[in-house]
Amino acid sequence: MTRSIRPLVAGNWKMNGMKADIVIASEVAKGYDAGLKAAVDLAICPPASLLITASVVLVGSRIATGGQDCSTQGSGAFTGEISAAMLADAGASFAIVGHSERRTLHGESNATVKAKAEAAQKALLVPIVCVGETKDEREAGKALAVVKKQLRGSIPDGATGATLVVAYEPVWAIGTGLTPTAADVAEMHEAIRAELGRLLGKAAAAGVRLLYGGSVKPSNAVELMNVANVDGALVGGASLKAEEFLAIARACG
């Protein structure tokens, strides 16, 4: 962890959840006690169909909500898209952009991710910009180079710790149960912090929360959350179980 940075644990529900599942958010709110509130910020990013409901359910809990994606556009004839302003209107504080599933399945380029991050900032949302390498890229010794290139192409100009979160999610670890070693995570997060320093200036980069994501679960959270420059987690499957999500949050305390 970075002692000067308040950690954030964000849950990405992905394409999971019906109306009945909003109880998960309620259970998380019940378990977010005074001790946890003093130690860590929480956010839940449900599917768009549940965003307003989750935001209402979580009013007064100090748990934020976020969207899982947003359009590069503010409004207009873009069927099926959702703008950052719409997310904000539904109660969101964050917007995940550049997740590997968007980059891979929807062909999103670094330039597109940057445009989405800028759209989120314009709507006064904090973008959670995701970066990460594939298994082949890591095995070829290209992981650091790949992630640095993603950062250079995806990070909005002039961002600060108040307007940007970066999530490192090695593609090969997402949903597989595999995780990099603590040493690998430490190396990558140190490199991300340094690259942000070159892009934004050291002062701004020093305040950016760097989350780790990729098969984060209660059994490995303590080790991962105690790695230098890891300022929280972007949690996938485990965020769909309130007690597991809260256990990961406790690992940041």
User: 3-state SS of 50-104?
Assistant: HHHHHHHHCCCCCEEEEECCCCCCCCCCCCCCCCHHHHHHCCCCEEEECCHHHHH
Question: In terms of DSSP bridges, do strands 94-97 and 165-168 run parallel, antiparallel, or are they unpaired?
Answer: unpaired
Instruction: Determine, yes or no, domain membership for 107.
Output: yes
Locate 200 and state its tokens.
């934004």
Instruction: Determine, yes or no, domain membership for 3.
Output: no
Question: Which CATH number is 111's domain given?
Answer: 3.20.20.70
Given the residues 118, 133, 169, 195, the one annotated as active site: 169
Given the residues 99, 101, 118, 195, the one annotated as active site: 99
* 189 annotated active-site: no
Instruction: Determine, yes or no, domain membership for 96.
Output: yes
Tens digit of each residue's pLDDT, the chain (253 residues)? 777 899 999 999 999 999 999 999 999 999 999 999 999 999 999 999 999 999 999 999 999 999 999 999 999 999 999 999 999 999 999 999 999 999 999 999 999 999 999 999 999 999 999 999 999 999 999 999 999 999 999 999 999 999 999 999 999 888 888 889 999 999 999 999 999 999 999 999 999 999 999 999 999 999 999 999 999 999 999 999 999 999 999 999 7
Instruction: Determine, yes or no, domain membership for 186.
Output: yes
Cα distance between residue 151 and residue 141, in whole Å: 18
Instruction: Determine, yes or no, domain membership for 204.
Output: yes
Cα distance between residue 179 and residue 227, in whole Å: 13
Instruction: Determine, yes or no, domain membership for 2.
Output: no
3 Cβ neighbours under 8 A, 6+ residues apart: none
Smallest Cα–Cα separation from 129: which of 91, 105, 103? Answer: 103
The number of distinct structural domains making up the chain is 1
Instruction: Determine, yes or no, domain membership for 105.
Output: yes
* 99 annotated active-site: yes
**Structural domain for 149, as ranges:** 8-250
Supply the pTM of this predicted model.
0.97
Instruction: Determine, yes or no, domain membership for 1.
Output: no
3-state secondary structure of 253: coil
